[in-house]
Structure 1
């Protein structure tokens, strides 16, 4: 079976989407797939007036394959199939994995060309299923645990780390409290590295090395002090998974959702901070005084990530949902994950 994988990350890399790009890269590896990534073309003045939200792509040269898998950062990325002329004639089946599937307004008419897609939340299934009359399955986000799991134990010199979006009142309070010379605590926060460009994949290793040297990693759901007018959801994003995989204690404001209940289901997976930033800072300091007693929780977080949330489990499930054969070389890595997880759990 010949497989092609289409994703945006090669031509438009962004730090916020590297985890999703890693799924595409793993799919490409396990299926020995053709890799396709379209370049976005600038819209003319007339195009911006007529179709202000339409994205145009430079044509991709491919003869097609039995299966095309589109790894979409958001619903709009399903439109990348427009970069392939006569895509429905060139591919026997077209499947999609959609990450920010809660963003209903982002779905494009090309969604109807797909044989089936997956969305990350159960409540996101009905809209594309009803609107585009295609099969829709639920499949949670994951992480490349086998690549980024800590290889050795490091001293955790970074007391608190906030990467990505931190609610403004918390950011201001923590900076004021922890950046003072009188504070013994180190608070490291974004911006870290480049937001876009070719270097973001290289800097992925830097992020994980920082996390593996961090005691507490911050994570807040998207409704905490929201900014901008875009729809949002109570979803578990990459920062939770990457922080847990790195052995951090994850503190913040956990999503209130079925997704969070099912994905972050082990005791101590997250610790809730106060709605008031000043009180939250005091809670962080109290946690830091307990650092030595949290070693077992760190190992548990790593073990649970290895047992539950590696992308390889998602690929296995994706194959089952789409009636695709599981690649032979995936099986050995699934066994490696289980063994590695068991080793952390038994420490």
Structure 2
């Protein structure tokens, strides 16, 4: 069986999406698949105004039995426009949509798919009813085999904030923790480049920082919102990467079915007060209880490895699509269990 995997990661690396692009790489490796990548074509001029900006750079392929498209958001399903006669070249086309809550992003190309997955249960109905296609739900994951700590590190960074941190909380934290009188180190974005060829390389830098961090901040998208951007109570990559790296996650947990099902074990996160000043004091109190933190961080890492590695998602994806499970997938699952057991002993 010839399988191809199409994602934007090679053509247009982005730090905010690299966890999703890594999923494409894992799929390609396990299926021994052809890797394709494309991005929107530039210089389309007036023509781009009339086609909704859906022109993509060419991704050359002879086709095959199945194409799996890793879409960062619904509009990414239109990447198949980069493959000439895509529907004729592939017997089946499947899509994996990450930020599936942005319903306005779905384009007419969505109707060409045999099946897509969306991240949240509440996002299933819209594309299913609008395009008449099969839609399944599948949560995000993380590459735990790649990024889980293999040994205990001295965690000299007290608090890290990468990505979006609400301004009112960030202001309170910087005023307190950046003071020369404070013994605590608060490291925050920007960390590395947001786009460009260095993004995959700097991925390792981020995890080395996380491995050396005691607490990581994460807030759902409804805290201190700005503008009119679409929002969702998603469990995003930031939560999973922080937990996998052994950080205690503090902030505002999403209030959703997704959060309840994914973050299901006791004390998985710490809820901070609505008042940023009080939240600052709470962080100090938590950091003072280092023994309890050490126990919890091992529990967090083990649960991430056992439940949220991308390879578990691939098992589910094969069931949904009818694709054969890759021959080496069971070995990877065994390695994950061994890693989880090792984590609890460290």
- TM-score, normalised relative to structure 1: 0.98
Superimposed CA distance per residue, residues 166-205 of structure 1 (whole angstroms, 9 cap, x where no aligned partner): 0000111101110010110000000000000011100111
Match for residue 283 of structure 1?
282
Is the 2:48–2:55 Cα contact (8 Å) retained in structure 1?
no
Q: Can you give the 5+ residue segments of structure 2 that lack an aligned partner in the other structure?
A: none
Q: Secondary structure of the residue that 1:205 maps to in structure 2? A: helix
Q: Secondary structure of the residue that 2:199 maps to in structure 1? A: helix
Range with bigger deviation, 222-231 or 159-168 = 222-231
Is the 2:73–2:100 Cα contact (8 Å) retained in structure 1?
yes
| Distance apart, 1:218 and its partner CA | 0.2
Superimposed CA distance per residue, residues 210-261 of structure 1 (whole angstroms, 9 cap, x where no aligned partner): 0011011000000001123221100000000000001110000000000000
Match for residue 215 of structure 1?
214
Q: What value does the CA root-mean-square deviation take over the aligned residues?
A: 1.1
Match for residue 37 of structure 1?
37
Distance (whole Å) between structure 2 residues aligned to residue 62 and residue 48 of structure 1: 24
Distance (whole Å) between structure 2 residues aligned to residue 88 and residue 49 of structure 1: 24
| Distance apart, 1:342 and its partner CA | 2.4
| Distance apart, 1:48 and its partner CA | 4.8
Match for residue 86 of structure 1?
85
Displacement over 6 Å in runs of 4+? none
Range with bigger deviation, 235-244 or 225-234 = 225-234
Is the 1:167–1:220 Cα contact (8 Å) retained in structure 2?
yes
Q: Secondary structure of the residue that 2:295 maps to in structure 1? A: helix
Is the 2:162–2:190 Cα contact (8 Å) retained in structure 1?
yes
Matching of residue 302 in structure 1 with residue 301 in structure 2: yes
Matching of residue 97 in structure 1 with residue 96 in structure 2: yes
How many residues align? The count is: 346
| Distance apart, 1:95 and its partner CA | 0.2
Q: How does 1:267-278 map to 2 (within 5 A)?
A: 267-278=266-277
Is the 2:54–2:81 Cα contact (8 Å) retained in structure 1?
no
Is the 2:40–2:53 Cα contact (8 Å) retained in structure 1?
no
Distance (whole Å) between structure 1 residues aligned to residue 98 and residue 315 of structure 2: 17
Distance (whole Å) between structure 2 residues aligned to residue 33 and residue 291 of structure 1: 45
Distance (whole Å) between structure 1 residues aligned to residue 48 and residue 177 of structure 2: 46
| Distance apart, 1:343 and its partner CA | 2.8
Q: Can you give the 5+ residue segments of structure 1 that lack an aligned partner in the other structure?
A: none
Distance (whole Å) between structure 2 residues aligned to residue 189 and residue 181 of structure 1: 17
Q: How does 1:84-233 map to 2 (within 5 A)?
A: 84-233=83-232
Matching of residue 16 in structure 1 with residue 16 in structure 2: yes
Distance (whole Å) between structure 2 residues aligned to residue 43 and residue 169 of structure 1: 40
| Distance apart, 1:346 and its partner CA | 4.9
Is the 2:172–2:280 Cα contact (8 Å) retained in structure 1?
yes
Distance (whole Å) between structure 2 residues aligned to residue 273 and residue 190 of structure 1: 20
Is the 1:6–1:68 Cα contact (8 Å) retained in structure 2?
yes
| Distance apart, 1:107 and its partner CA | 0.6
Is the 1:43–1:56 Cα contact (8 Å) retained in structure 2?
no
Superimposed CA distance per residue, residues 103-127 of structure 1 (whole angstroms, 9 cap, x where no aligned partner): 0001111000000000000000000
Distance (whole Å) between structure 2 residues aligned to residue 134 and residue 248 of structure 1: 40
